[in-house]
Chain A
């Protein structure tokens, strides 16, 4: 990132990034927990899988490795936000479940078992 020299430059960068963030909302967003706890339960493989499989799908997407949501009981967790829908968090995701998430939820909008309640 280039050096920000004053408040004005910071503010315009902020606005620019907010616009970009808003554009991302039109895409499928996949957040993969990558904290120590998540990695210990296998999230690195899940991240790898999404990175490999998503480019083959006919949808626009963003994949983000993140910290954790604090859901230790269900790591690895993956949060998927389809354009226009609320976030859905899937628990205990391995590559098998990751495939299901892509095939059922991302492609067809059909929920699978093991969704963690968020209300």
Chain B
């Protein structure tokens, strides 16, 4: 199942003891730092630019360009920050890297520090990742003891210290300006850009922020060369991407594939297809900020641009697979529920607009929606996207828009025919006992918490639709397939 995978960011995960520096060094660890320190700053920046590496946290900004900007700013003090505030539902790429190969991130941060002229770095990590934190602490102590971090690294006079800052798990803190605010001890709220962090970041100083997976690629690029890295992937998206396959796919897990791999290869070849042989319906990329890809996108090569063109985005790499049993308006509602909860509340379109979007979706999934609501959903989504301050608000309506575009017929059925074809929306389904199949065992009657089922033992049973709360307990208990959902 690994034939189509190429492991760069995950190259050491599963092959070294993350708590042993010797293991890392034996697999070319800190060689990139040693190479970097023996050359000029410009060389490093140019290598990263040439490699074509782009930000793996979701935005896809060219990493080398970001370094170049931070390097060009004059300043006595600069910072390097590693964004390990992984918050998408169903995404765990960064956790895996930090738990399996913490030194690769530390090494890359030191390389970045040398390139932009910084002597201090911080890893902003979720406090919910205790094992990753533990292994990072061990790695930091070992690297310092060996003289690979800290003062006068390898006798070159270059100093680089790394510290940890813990996040409380707020989704918005993955946005770089909010992350910096949170690190400074303020509320995790984004601010207007420009000024960009490269000009005025942490403590008002020039700061370079990169994601964990982005950093994990750096040592490999320096060791094997920019041309090698640029030879993998597509025209505009070089290298590989780690995806967290989740949902209705057989082989749930982490995979790393070259950019340009198709969704079909990811889900059916590597992922082993859909659980229980059900029919594929959609795949959500980019988490709550992204959109869904459908059957017609199965053969599209995945890269930053093609995903954008398909109405989704790369995101950090969460890939949630859905089958015929998933109701798309309900999926959109699930993601909106998440963003409403995680909105920091600073700007009105995001704080109020998303709440209204959620309420309309709630109306639709409860059978009270109208055709006018569908139009309202679309219009409001466009307004939120164009007027929100930060990435969270600007992308929050994406799941609504993309499900509306790709599955309009399902929305139409919900509001006009009052039907949910996936049989998910409780208000739109009915549990019915088929008299011919009912043997009168009474199992359903005993399971019903609402006392909605009547009938004597060995007699046909009946569900009182007015009393039924549609919990499905009877459906699960019936051994004779006598209960159906309509």
Contact = CB atoms under 8 A, between A and B. Distances in A.
Contacts of B251: 71, 73
B1 A116 contact: yes
Residue in B95, B252, B253 with the greatest tally of chain A CB atoms within 10 Å: B253
A71 B10 CA distance: 12
Interface stretch (B16-24, B289-297, B403-411, B441-449): B16-24
A7 B38 contact: yes
A10 B17 contact: no
Contacts of B96: 35, 67-68, 70
Given A7-B34, A70-B96, A119-B2, A1 B254 contact: no
A3 B34 CA distance: 15
A35 B2 contact: no
28 contacts: A1-B142, A1-B145, A1-B146, A3-B147, A5-B154, A7-B34, A10-B30, A14-B31, A17-B26, A20-B26, A21-B26, A31-B15, A35-B96, A36-B129, A36-B131, A66-B13, A66-B14, A66-B16, A66-B17, A66-B18, A67-B14, A67-B100, A68-B99, A68-B100, A70-B10, A70-B14, A70-B96, A119-B1
Interface in B292-328: none
Interface string B149-160: 000001100000
Contact of B145 (A3, A18, A20): A3
A18 B26 CA distance: 5
A60 to B, nearest CB: 18
Contact of A67 (B37, B101, B253): B101
A48 interface: no
Given A3-B147, A67-B96, 20 more contacts: A3-B146, A4-B148, A5-B155, A10-B34, A10-B154, A31-B14, A64-B16, A64-B23, A66-B13, A66-B17, A66-B18, A67-B13, A67-B97, A68-B14, A68-B254, A70-B14, A71-B251, A73-B250, A118-B1, A118-B2
B22 A17 contact: yes
B100 A4 contact: no
Contact of A36 (B13, B14, B17, B95): B95
Contacts of B252: 72-73
A70 B3 CA distance: 15
B255 interface: yes
Nearest to B253: A72
A114 interface: no
Nearest to A62: B17
A-B pairs, 7 with minimum CB distance = A67-B100, A70-B254, A69-B14, A72-B253, A17-B26, A6-B155, A67-B13
Given A17-B26, A20-B26, A73 B14 contact: no
Interface in A1-36: 1-7, 9-11, 13-14, 17-18, 20-21, 31, 33, 35-36
A39 B131 contact: yes
Nearest to A21: B26
A66 to B, nearest CB: 5
A15 to B, nearest CB: 10
B25 interface: yes
Nearest to B245: A72
Interface string A59-97: 000001111111111000001000000000000000000
A39 B129 CA distance: 13
B336 to A, nearest CB: 27
A79 B142 CA distance: 26
Interface of B: 1-3, 10, 12-19, 21-23, 25-28, 30-31, 34, 37-38, 92, 95-97, 99-101, 129, 131-132, 142, 145-148, 154-155, 250-256
Nearest to B135: A67
Nearest to A1: B146
A7 to B, nearest CB: 6
A52 interface: no
A25 to B, nearest CB: 12
A113 interface: no
Contacts of B19: 65
B99 A36 contact: yes
A104 B182 CA distance: 54
A1 B12 CA distance: 21
Contacts of A2: 146
Contacts of B145: 1, 3
A1 B15 contact: no
A5 B156 CA distance: 9
A28 B132 CA distance: 28
A5 B21 CA distance: 17
Contacts of A64: 16-17, 23
Contacts of A11: 34
B147 A71 contact: no
Residue in A11, A20, A65, A70 with the greatest tally of chain B CB atoms within 10 Å: A70
Contacts of B97: 67
A70 B253 contact: yes
Given A66-B18, A70-B13, A70-B96, A5 B26 contact: no
A70 to B, nearest CB: 3
A61 to B, nearest CB: 14
A72 B15 contact: no
A68 B131 CA distance: 13
Contacts of B13: 66-70
Nearest to A87: B15
B35 to A, nearest CB: 9
Nearest to A18: B26
Nearest to B146: A1
